[in-house]
Structures are given as C-alpha cells and as structure tokens.
Amino acid sequence: MSEKHGIIVSATIAVVAVLLAAKWLAQLWLERLNRRNVQAHAEAVPETFRGVIDDSTYAKSVKYTLAKSGLQRIELTYNTALLGVILFSGVLPLSFAWFQKGLGISAWSMALYLFVIGLVLSLPGLPLEWYAQFRLEEQFGFNTTTQKLWWLDRLKGLILAAALGYPLLVLVLKLVDWTGHWWWLWAWGALLVFQLLMAVLAPVLIMPLFNRFTPLPEGSLRERLLKLSDKTRFQAKGIQVMDGSKRSRHSNAFFTGFGRFRKIVLFDTLIQQLAEPELEAVLAHEIGHYKKRHIPKMLAASAVGSLGGFYVVAWLARQEWFYRAFGFAAGSVIPALLLFGLLAGVAMFWLSPVAHWWSRRYEYQADAFAAKVMEEPQSLIGALRKLNEKNLSNLTPHPLYSGFYYSHPTLLEREEALRSS
C-alpha cells in the first residue's frame, strides 16, 4: 500500500468517526432543545390549548414526553457506542473470514452471513425495546401487550425476515455473479419488484399474522362511513377495524396498499375514543391519502433513493481504500453491502428533515381533502384534539425537533391550516 493510499485510509476512518459523533451529538442536542421547550411550558396549559385539554392530562403529557426523551438519550448513546465498536473493533472482517472459511463464498452462504449479522446486531436493542413497552408505556397506562405476545411478535418477525429477506439477499448476490458490472441495476430492479409485491401483499398476508382485521360492525357508524365512501367513490369493503387494543391503548388510523388491495384501517381504540362525526373526518383524511395518490408517490421516491443506494454500494465495492479502512480485502461486494447497511443511517439522518417535510405536506393535503368532503373543519379538529389528548402527545415540541422527527404536523399547525383553508 502506497503512502498516499495510507493517508486516504486514515482519512476515511476519521470521516466516518466524525459522522458518527456528529449524528450522536446532534440528536442529543435536539433532545435537550425539546426537553427545555417542554419544561418552559410545563407550568400551565399553553394559551391556545386552554379549554381543549385539562390541567392533569397536560401535566401527564409533559411527564410522558420527558420520560420518553430520557430513554431516548440512553438509547442514542448506547446505539452509537455499539456501532462504533462494531465498525472499528475488527469484529466484522474477522467474522467474515471465519464465515467464508466455514461455509464458502456461494451466494447462499454469503446471504446467510449478512442475515446472521443483521440478526445479531438487532439483539442488543431488545432490552431497551422491552423496557419501553413494559416499563415506560406501562407506567403511563398504555401497555396492553402480554409478555407472551411480545416475544411471539419478535419470533414472527424473525420467521418473516428469514422467509422473505433471506431469499431476496440470495437473489441480489446471484445477480452480482450473473450480471457483472451492472449488477446494481439488476439488484435494484429485483428490490423494486419485491417492494411492489410487498405493498400489495403485506396488507393481505402479513398484517393479519399480527392483528385481526374485521369489517365495520353493523350500526349507525357503518351507515355513516358507507355514505362517505359512496360520496368519495372509495370502495367501502376496504374499511376495516384492527384490534390495536391487543398491544396498546394508543389509537390510530392508516391507509395502506394500493390498487385493488388498498385498505383503510381504524384501530378499535380509535372507535372507542372518537364520536361518529370525528371518525368520519378521520376516514375522510385517510381517503384523502388515497385520492392524492400518496402511497404510489412515496414508493416512487423510495425507488429513486434505493437506486442511488445500490449505485453507491457498487461504487464502494470498487474502492480499495474503503475496504482497507474497515479491515476488509478487496474483491467481494459483501463488505460494501454490509458497511453501507451500517453507515447509511449516519448520513441519511441529515436528510430526515426533508423526508419529514414531504410527509407533513401530504398530511396537510389529506386534512384539506377531509375538510372539503365534510364541508367543515370542526369534526377533524375535534378528532385531532382527542387523538393528541388520549395519546399524551407533546403539544409544545421544539420546531427543530419536530422538523427532524415528526412525520405529521403538530396539532397547532394542523388546526391553523384547517381553519385557514
């Protein structure tokens, strides 16, 4: 290795370490900004929400936000330290060499290597996930998950990853062998087909493995929602109730799938919490996502992103200095895939405000659609207020914090937009 080469290798290590530290510090700083903002408003319900939320619920939401932030700080430091150790301790090239020696370099064995590494790396996060569900969520009265259900969920997730993720990895690695230089384009095509299939099949085949979906029960709510789906020409058969109460008292509604396989899902907890006109407004909002074609648009954006991702992996796989920096020998595409998987988040974090800004734009569009169909904004405003109250949402996030993390605008922002539309 030449001297110049050696400098590039050291610079690479330094840049990655700086990126890792920068993300960690930025996230800690965002937590701090947010905590301070919440504490500054903690004394009394902010002016705008007086009469909307009572003192004790507000105080509880402040406590809940601070408790979650406390756990988040621990998680951030823990995950960053873990990633640093994994990247710089030499455990990756060691395990790679060991795996190659034992099982060979076929696509099947190398896909197994990536799968096992992914599995092993997901293990250290389990204790914190467990704590979040059975201590924090429990403390604020949200948890309804049993221990058995929680472990069963993890087991099902593992089986699904093995059944779907492993074959996809094998296919990608086979494409590397078969198609040579342009493998990344083929691999991207394969991932795209896989994602489209999942978008169609997940609501039908995967989600029912975790929850029960039932049609709306007979009654006045059903009548009302059917009328709305007629009016907006949304097939009513796609409206279903999910037993969200099986895991948590949090409430929600979402829209998923596309084409004939589309589905709007209302949590049973939501139906318990909202009045009928409010539920109608929530449904109208979800139909708005469908009418504005938000899911196909997001899939298209993610396809562009993954094309860029595969290009970067193929490029990195040809850079000897990059491999050397992490202790790998040149020649295989596997280390590039692995390192990209570990490092993508470190760089992509800085783009999250853009992604979330985009997502919030869609929420405003769906809100506006709902208000138009309902011919008044008040039902949706009522629904949003109750949702915020029941979920103990943070009413006063710091703008930078919500910019980085919020996929939905805050209650205040949504109310303002609804009133002015």
- Closest CB to Zn ion among residues 76, 368: 368
Which alpha helices (H) appear in 123-179, and where do they start and end? 126-131, 137-139, 147-160, 166-179
Applying CB under 5 A, the site for Zn ion has a residue count of 2
Q: What own/partner pairs with CB < 8 Å and gap ≥ 24 does 168-171 have?
A: 168/194, 169/111, 169/114, 169/115, 170/107, 170/108, 170/111
Q: Cα dist. 58→70, 408, 411, 419 in Å?
A: 18, 20, 14, 23
Least separation in angstroms between residue 377's CB and Zn ion is: 15
Tell me whether residue 276 is one of the annotated catalytic residues.
no
Least separation in angstroms between residue 279's CB and Zn ion is: 14
Least separation in angstroms between residue 292's CB and Zn ion is: 10
Amino acid (1-letter code) at residue 78:
Y
- The residues, any chain, with a CB within 8 Å of residue 343's CB and separated by 6 or more, are 16, 19, 87
Stretch that binds Zn ion, among 116-124, 209-217, 360-368, 388-396 (CB under 5 A): 360-368
Q: Which of 31, 367, 389, 415 is catalytic?
A: 367
Burial of 202 (0-12, 13-18, 19+ CB in 10 A): middle
Tell me whether residue 367 is one of the annotated catalytic residues.
yes
Stretch that binds Zn ion, among 140-148, 205-213, 217-225, 364-372 (CB under 5 A): 364-372
Stretch that binds Zn ion, among 27-35, 53-61, 148-156, 366-374 (CB under 5 A): 366-374
- Closest CB to Zn ion among residues 207, 287: 287
Least separation in angstroms between residue 363's CB and Zn ion is: 5
Please state the separation of Cα 386 from the chain's center in Å.
24
Stretch that binds Zn ion, among 11-19, 189-197, 218-226, 361-369 (CB under 5 A): 361-369
Can you name the residues that pair with 248 across neighbouring β-strands? 143
- Closest CB to Zn ion among residues 255, 326: 255
Can you name the residues that pair with 53 across neighbouring β-strands? 50
- Closest CB to Zn ion among residues 35, 262: 262
Per-residue x/- track, 304-343, Zn ion (CB under 5 A)? ----------------------------------------
Helices (H) and strands (E) in the chain, counts: 20, 4
Q: Which of 278, 286, 363, 389 is catalytic?
A: 286
Least separation in angstroms between residue 367's CB and Zn ion is: 8
Stretch that binds Zn ion, among 94-102, 215-223, 225-233, 358-366 (CB under 5 A): 358-366
Least separation in angstroms between residue 87's CB and Zn ion is: 37
Least separation in angstroms between residue 343's CB and Zn ion is: 31
C-alpha angle 342/347/353, rounded to 5°? 125
- Closest CB to Zn ion among residues 117, 253: 253
Give the Cβ contact number of residue 419 at 10 Å. 11
State the helix-helix crossing angle for 352-374 and 411-420, rounded to 10 degrees. 50
- Closest CB to Zn ion among residues 306, 407: 407
Please state the separation of Cα 381 from the chain's center in Å.
25
End-to-end CA distance of the chain: 64
Amino acid (1-letter code) at residue 386:
K
Helix (H, G, I), strand (E, B) or coil at 397: coil
- Closest CB to Zn ion among residues 96, 255: 255
Q: What is the DSSP letter of 255?
A: E
User: Which residue numbers are catalytic?
Assistant: 286, 367
Binding site for Zn ion (CB under 5 A): 363, 366
